[in-house]
Structure 1
Amino acid sequence: MAASSCLFAILSCGRNHAKLSSSVVNLCNVAYEPKYKKDDHAYRNVNSWKSKRELADHIVDNLILNRDGLLVFNKPYGVGVSPVPTSSKALEILPKSYGYNLHDVLPYLGNSLGIDRLIVAKSSGKFTSGVLIMATSDKAFDRFKTCQRRERPAKKLTSKYLGVVMGEPLNENISESVKVALTSSPDGKTLQPIIYGNKKPALAKDAISVAAECRTLCTNGHGASLVEIKSNTTKWHFLRVYMAHKLAPLLGDDMYGSRVKYVAGLPVAMNPFNIHSRSTVSISPSIRTRLGLEEGEEITIPCHLHLQEYTFLGWNRDGSDLTVNAPIPSFFDWTCKQLNLINY
C-alpha cells in the first residue's frame, strides 16, 4: 500500500485495517498558502461548548461502541475526568486549563443514553483527545479491568497514540524499556518526572520501568513529524516527557515542550529544573508561519496527542481481542494538512 494511502487510513474514522509502510515518508515541500481567515483559526474554538448539556451532546454524538455494558467514546481535547482545583498551581503552569470535565456531564450523558449509572474506566487525559471508556455496571467494569490485567503477562501495548512533534526522533522505529523517576529539584521546591539511564538520580523520590515504542510515520522537512507512540503507562505524563526526552517534543505541550531549545537549528536538552527555560516553548518560524500564528501566539496551540486506538485483550466471547479506533479531532487534522504531514 502506498505511504500516502496509509496515512489517509490512519487519520480516517477508524479504518484500522490499513497497514503502515515501515519506511518514513518524506513529503515534498509545497508553497504555504493560508486558506482561512484569522477569526476562523482552527485553534480558537477547540472548546466552544456553551453548556454542560452541549458538551454531553457532543460526547454522545461521538459514541464509538455500545456493547456488553461497555461504552467507548471519542473524547474531545481539553476535557478531564475531574476539575482542576482553583487553588492549584497547575492553573499557572497549564494556561489551557478551561472548560468542563466528565464528572460535570455524567448526569446529562446518562439521561441522553437512558442509562442509570456510568463509570469512567479509562480516559485519555485532559490534554489528550481520543478513546474514552465507560462501564454501565460493576460487572462490565470488572471485565474491563480483567482485560487490563492481561497486558503485562502478554507483553502487549494496547494503547496507540498519534502525535505531531517538533523535529524528528533520531530513529524511525524505537522499542525500548526506560526508567522514569519523579525527581526533586536541588532546592527541594519542585518535582519533575525525569527519564534516566542505568544510574538513578540521587534526588529521585520514586521510579518505575516503562515499555515504550515510537515510530515516525511522516516528516515534512520543515521541522515537524507525525509519530505513533505506545507505552504501558501514562503516569507522570510519560508520553509527553518521553517525546521531550527524545528531543522531539509534542506540538502544543506547554508543560514539557520547553525542555528542548534550538541552538543553530539543532535541538538541545535543557535542565528541567531551570525556571527560566520552562517559561517558553521553542517553535520554529517555519512551523509558526504554516500554522498562521504570530510570535507569542504559541500558547493557543493545543497539545497534539491523540489516543487513536485501544485493544481489549480477550474481550470477545471466543477469547479474541476487540480493537476500537477514534478519529482524530478537526484541529489535529488541520495541523497535519498545514504542515504537509498528510497527503490525500
Structure 2
Amino acid sequence: MFRSKPWRLCKGMRAPFSTRAWYQMPLKQRSLGKPVGGHSSGKSILAPGKPLSREELLNLLEKSLVHKDDVLLAISKPPGLPVDGKPGEVTLLSLLPFLSQKLGLPQNLQVIKAAGKESSGLVLLSGCADTVRRVHDFYIRSQRAKRPTATYCAITTRIPEASEGEISTGLKLMQIEDFDLVVPVASPSRGSIERREVKKTLTHYKVLDSNEDCALLQLQPLTAFPSQLLVHSTLILSPILGDHMYSSRVGAVLGEPFLLSPESALPRTQILNDSLLTKLHLQQRHVHRLPLHLHLHRLLLPSTEGFSSCAALTAPFPAFFLRTLSLLGLALPQEETKEQEKTLKAFSTTQ
C-alpha cells in the first residue's frame, strides 16, 4: 500500500482506506458451471461464464479499493475490464461516474496509470490536476533515466532459458488478416523509428520461481507499447498463462520450443500441454475461460518530499492467481507470502 505522507495538493477525498479486493473472494460456483477435472473438488480458476452486469461490476470495484487519500485513489481492477473503449461499451471510464457517486468521490477523476484490459491489477486515479501532472512528470523522468516504475508478475507456461535478463526489440502494429496485432521488429531502421512506425521497447525480467514446465516471472517494462509484455514473453519462449492472443507464436517439436512467425500463428485459444492441464484440473475445451495471469502488482510514485525518493503502491494478487500458483507448485517471494496466504486461505476454505 502507498504509505508515504498524504498529498495535500488538492482536497476533497477522504482519509486513507483499504479493503479486500473483489477477486480475493471466492468465485461464484453458479457463474463457473460444473467443476472440470477429476480432482477439482469444486475449486476453479476459470473466469465467470457470463459477462458481469454493470451493477455487479460496480459492486466488485467498490470492494477493490487499494488506497484512498486526499488526492490519490487506487483500485485493483479485474482481468477483462478495459479502461476505455467505444461508446456504449462497459469500460472502467464508463463506470467511474457511478463508482464516484457510490463512494462520494470527485466526478472529475482521471486515470494516471492502469493495467491493460486483459491484465489484473493497479489503476491509479486522481481528481487533482496538479497531482496528475506531478505523477506523469515523475514517470517521464523515470523512463528517461531507465528506471522501472511498474512491476508486474506473470505465470508462464514455460521457463525462460536465462533466469534474469532484458528483452529488447522494436514493436509495431500490423494488420494480419482480420487481426490488429503487435509484431516484433528485430532490427528496425532509423527511418521507421523516426516515422514512428516502429518503437524500440525494453523489459527487464526475472524468474522468481519455477517448477517443471512453468514459472513465476517478475516483469518491469521500461517502455510502454500495447501488449508489450505479452509479445516480449513469447520472445523468451515463455508465453503467459491465459494469453489467447500471442501464445500461439511459440511452438514445440519434441518438447523443444521455437518461435513461429506472426503471419503463421494467428490468435487462438491457448494450447496447454497435458501436464499443465492435469495440474490445473482443466480440460483443453475449458481453457478459453482461463484469465490472463498478468498482474500489475506494484507502482512507484514520487514521495511528498520530491523526486529524489519514491513511495510504493501495491495491489494484492487475485485469488485465481494465488490458486494457480498453488496448483503449479510455485511460490511468491518471502516478503509477499504472509499477506497472500490469507487471501488464498479464504479462497480455498470457502469453495
* TM score, norm. by length of structure 1: 0.77
Q: CA deviation at 1:48?
A: 6.6
- 8 Å CA contact 1:68–1:140 kept in 2: the answer is no
Tell me how far 1:274 sits from its aligned partner.
1.8
CA distance in structure 1 between the aligned counterparts of 2:128 and 2:58, rounded to whole angstroms:
20
For residue 133 of structure 1, report the CA deviation from its aligned partner: 0.6
Amino acid at match of 1:260: V
Identical aligned residues as a percent:
25
Q: Relative to structure 2, which stretch is displaced further, 176-185 or 320-329?
A: 176-185
Residue 64 of structure 1: aligned partner:
66
| Aligned equivalent of 2:79, options 77, 80, 83 | 77
Q: Is the CA contact (8 Å cut-off) linking 2:167 and 2:232 kept in structure 1?
A: no
Distance 1:301 1:321 in 2: 35
**Is the Cα–Cα contact under 8 Å of residues 160 and 307 in structure 1 kept in the other structure?**
yes
For 2:348, the equivalent position in structure 1 comes to none
C-alpha deviation, 1:207, in angstroms? 1.0
Residues 257-336 of structure 1: pairs in structure 2 closer than 5 A: 257-274=247-264, 278-312=267-301, 314-319=302-307, 320-336=309-325
SS of equivalent residue, structure 1 residue 290: helix
Amino acid at match of 2:182: P
Deviations 1:73-123 (A, max 9, x none): 11111111124679xxxxxxxxxxxx9421232122111221232212221
Residue 303 of structure 2 aligns to a residue whose secondary structure is coil
After the TM superposition, which residues 1-344 of structure 1 pair with which residues of structure 2 at under 5 Å, given as runs? 34-37=39-42, 40-45=43-48, 49=52, 51-83=53-85, 100-117=90-107, 118-183=109-174, 192-198=181-187, 200=189, 206-221=197-212, 223-274=213-264, 278-312=267-301, 314-319=302-307, 320-342=309-331
Q: Distance in 1 between matches of 2:105 and 2:269?
A: 45
Structure 1 CA distance for aligned equivalents of residues 314 and 140 of structure 2: 21
Equivalenced residues, count: 295
2:102 is paired with a residue of what secondary structure?
helix
CA drift of 1:280 comes to 4.9
Q: Is the 8 A contact 2:67 2:73 kept in 1?
A: yes
CA distance in 2, matches of 1:53, 1:68: 26
Residues in 2 aligned to 1:168 and 1:121: alpha-carbon distance in whole angstroms: 33
| Equivalent residues of 1:160, 1:229 under 8 A apart | yes
| Shift in CA distance, 199/256, structure 1 to aligned 2, threshold 3 Å | same
Residues in 2 aligned to 1:71 and 1:227: alpha-carbon distance in whole angstroms: 27
Measure, in 2, the Cα distance between the counterparts of 1:292 and 1:68.
Answer: 45
Tell me, in whole angstroms, the C-alpha distance in 1 between the residues paired with 2:186 and 2:233: 16
**Where does the alignment leave 5 or more consecutive residues of structure 2 unmatched?**
1-19, 21-36, 338-351
Instruction: State the one-letter code of the partner of 1:73.
Output: I
2: distance between equivalents of 1:236 and 1:134? 20
* Structure 1 stretches lacking a partner, 5+ long: 1-12, 14-31, 87-98
The Cα of 1:323 is off from its aligned counterpart by 0.6
